[in-house]
Chain A
Amino acid sequence: MIRVRDVHMHFGDVKVLRGVSFDVQRGETLCILGGSGGGKSTLLNVMIGALRATDGEVVIDGQSTRGMKERQFDDVRRKFGVMFQGGALLNSMSIADNVALPIGYHTKLDADTIETMVKMKLYQVDLLHAADRRPSAISGGMQKRAAVARALALDPKILFYDEPSAGLDPIATTRIDELINKLKTTMRMTNVVVTHVMESVQRIADHIIMLDKGAGHPRRDAR
């Protein structure tokens, strides 16, 4: 499902990633671990196309993104969803409108169908009761679940999570972890999680990769 091969990322003279390689199969959860400044977020940004690798290759669902133009990458982007560290929900609209945004933008479905789909997505993350609220009016944990609902909007095969536990209390963290596991078991979702919380890793990871000063250490079975 995802193949990362010998990815290097340099910012001027600073080498952030130095030859990272790994594979993730369909329905697996990979956790990317490492200390601050170790290149975790950079690796995630390379995989989602926010940054282009200096060298190496990222293949997503059989499509190599190397040298791909921005418009071609848009087709790849519809195959995955991303949950950002702070949720990154659009504050000017309600939770339901946030989830409806990619559906309305990329499909020609009528308003009633979109509303039904949005309710289904919000039900999956247990946020149906907060559909009409603004992101600023809900808790951090709810914002992250809403971000997962938005990431699920176009029924992707892959979900990327950037620090899903950051800033959350243990109960909210557990809820997010249960949601990740539920998506894996019920939808065979491929999850790639950047985190530094070991309790979460123990709960969700099938495999892990340790990033140390930009080098990816061989992945090993987490369980």
Chain B
Amino acid sequence: MSTPEAATSGPIGSFFGRIGRSFLSFRAPIVGLLRHVSGVWHLFLLTTYYSFIGPFVGRSKLRRQLFPMLSNVGARSFPIVFMINFLIGAILVIQMGPVMKDFGQTGLIPSVVALAVCREFGPVMTAIIMTARVGASYTAVLASMKINDEVLALETMAIHPVGYLVAPRFLAMVIMMPCLVVLSYIVGMIGGGLVAYAIFDIGAESYIQRTTDGIGMIDVIAGLVKSVAFAVIIALICCYYGLITEGGPMGLGRNTMVAVVSSLVVVIIADLIMGAFFIQYVFA
């Protein structure tokens, strides 16, 4: 007579047993991931409400917090965005220039640099810088406030933490990121232009002419669309991990690390998806 023990014994039972155990071992991380995705989505809905509707129905007052945030996110990020994107433009020419020279195509260097900076490097490098510089500070500040009961104190004062803490940070990121990406376009091309002049003897006038010939408005806009999407991703993920922090300083450190890594991974995945979409439907 068959027993439950008999059903799970033998090679077939052992095989299904292994599958079952593998599934159970993966279940917790998958459930955890879905919980975080759901949490970020919920935060997105609340943030959208407190950013765009709340101020008009008296549910949030953004003005006082927004301007210092704009300064922190935008003006204070300017030097590092400038330097990194300048160097990226220069590196692009240094790496590609000799290969293009071998094919007798040095004249295409300005166009290639402009396309690479507008479509890819400008938005992505700026997003990486903003994740490290601003996103990490969002998580750390909100986590510290959560640990010290400051978030709970806001709630007991009938001040919604999303309206007071997240909405201004979200808006600051969404407003300043495209501005910084426009800056990254300009300095990236300047960096490339200086190296192209120094190594390949391409004059300023010729460089500018070939750059403007090589890119269209659609390339500029595609980069800006990406930058807004990246800003939403970084602001929401970093604020979310700050607000769910528990466990004192250890929790703060862990969540800051997880927020930065998660933001970067999601930014790169979003870049891949949007890049494929633009190539298929927009640039074509």
Q: Which residues of A contact B (CB under 8 A)?
A: 48-50, 74-75, 77-78, 80-82, 84-86, 88-91, 101-102, 104-106, 150, 153-154
Give the size range of B's interface with the partner. 10 to 19
Given A89-B150, A90-B150, A105-B61, is A50 in contact with B158 using a C-beta cutoff of 8 Å?
no
Q: Is B156 an interface residue (CB 8 A)?
A: yes
- What does DSSP make chain B's interface, helix, strand, loop or mixed? helix
Q: Is B213 an interface residue (CB 8 A)?
A: no
Q: Which residues of B contact A80 (CB under 8 A)?
A: 156
Considering only CB atoms, which chain B residue lies closest to A92 in the complex? Answer: B141
23 A-B pairs with C-beta separation under 8 A:
A50-B155, A50-B156, A74-B158, A75-B158, A77-B156, A77-B158, A82-B156, A84-B153, A85-B149, A88-B150, A88-B152, A90-B145, A90-B153, A101-B157, A102-B158, A105-B61, A105-B157, A105-B164, A106-B158, A150-B153, A150-B157, A153-B157, A154-B157
Q: Which residues of A contact B149 (CB under 8 A)?
A: 84-86, 88
CB distance from A214 to the nearest CB of B (A): 22
Given A82-B153, A88-B153, is A101 in contact with B159 using a C-beta cutoff of 8 Å?
yes
Q: Which residues of A contact B148 (CB under 8 A)?
A: 86, 88, 91
Distance A102 CA – B154 CA, assembled complex (angstroms): 9
Return the contact of A48 from the options B61, B150, B156, B164 (Cβ within 8 A).
Answer: B156
CB distance from B72 to the nearest CB of A (A): 11
B33-90 interface (Cβ within 8 A of A): 61, 64
Q: Which residues of A contact B145 (CB under 8 A)?
A: 90
Q: Which residues of B contact A (CB under 8 A)?
A: 61, 64, 144-145, 148-150, 152-153, 155-159, 164
Q: Are A77 and B150 in contact (CB under 8 A)?
A: no
* New A-B contacts (17) at CB < 8 Å, excluding given A91-B150, A150-B157, A153-B157: A49-B155, A74-B158, A77-B157, A77-B158, A84-B153, A85-B149, A86-B148, A88-B153, A90-B145, A90-B153, A91-B144, A91-B148, A101-B157, A102-B159, A105-B61, A105-B157, A154-B157
Q: Are A78 and B155 in contact (CB under 8 A)?
A: no
Considering only CB atoms, which chain A residue lies closest to B64 in the complex? Answer: A104
CB distance from B157 to the nearest CB of A (A): 4
Considering only CB atoms, which chain A residue lies closest to B145 in the complex? Answer: A90
CB distance from B131 to the nearest CB of A (A): 22
Distance A199 CA – B264 CA, assembled complex (angstroms): 54
Q: Which residues of B contact A77 (CB under 8 A)?
A: 155-158
Q: Which 10 A-B pairs have the closest CB atoms?
A: A88-B153, A88-B149, A74-B158, A77-B158, A82-B156, A102-B157, A84-B149, A88-B150, A105-B159, A48-B156
Considering only CB atoms, which chain B residue lies closest to A82 in the complex? Answer: B156
